Amino acid sequence: DTAVSQTPKYLVTQMGNDKSIKCEQNLGHDTMYWYKQDSKKFLKIMFSYNNKELIINETVPNRFSPKSPDKAHLNLHINSLELGDSAVYFCASSQGLFREYSYEQYFGPGTRLTVT
């Protein structure tokens, strides 16, 4: 049983397109996150939702919009894709907000987005 799942695993698309990446967790966690792994392999937090409420919104272009239909899902929608959006995107979840003594995070398998 996969704890945190993402679809699709690979996404190849052209510049200017709009695409979505879906994330689901079956751990009963309250908090979900999106991370971007950049070309230098850094993991950078993009968004965090707690009980469907946006908590963290780092400096991310507003072409990126997270949507949380319920506690178990946090989808990432990207408009007008650019070459620089190519990266691996990881979804994660944790029991509570990380500031509350920092529960460990469980990561999904990642989605490799390639924009051509």
* 96 binding other proteins? (CB under 8 A): no
110 near other proteins, judged by CB under 8 A: yes
Determine if 45 is a binding residue for other proteins (CB under 8 A).
yes
Q: Which two tokens stand for residue 89?
A: 């995107």
Select from 86, 96, 106, 114 the one that contacts other proteins (CB under 8 A).
106
Residues 75-94 that bind other proteins (CB under 8 A): 90
- Report the residue from 40, 59, 62, 83 that binds other proteins according to the rule CB under 8 A: 40
Burial (CB count within 10 angstroms: exposed 0-12, middle 13-18, buried 19+), residue 28 = exposed
SS3 category, 36: strand
Structure token pair of residue 112: 């490799």
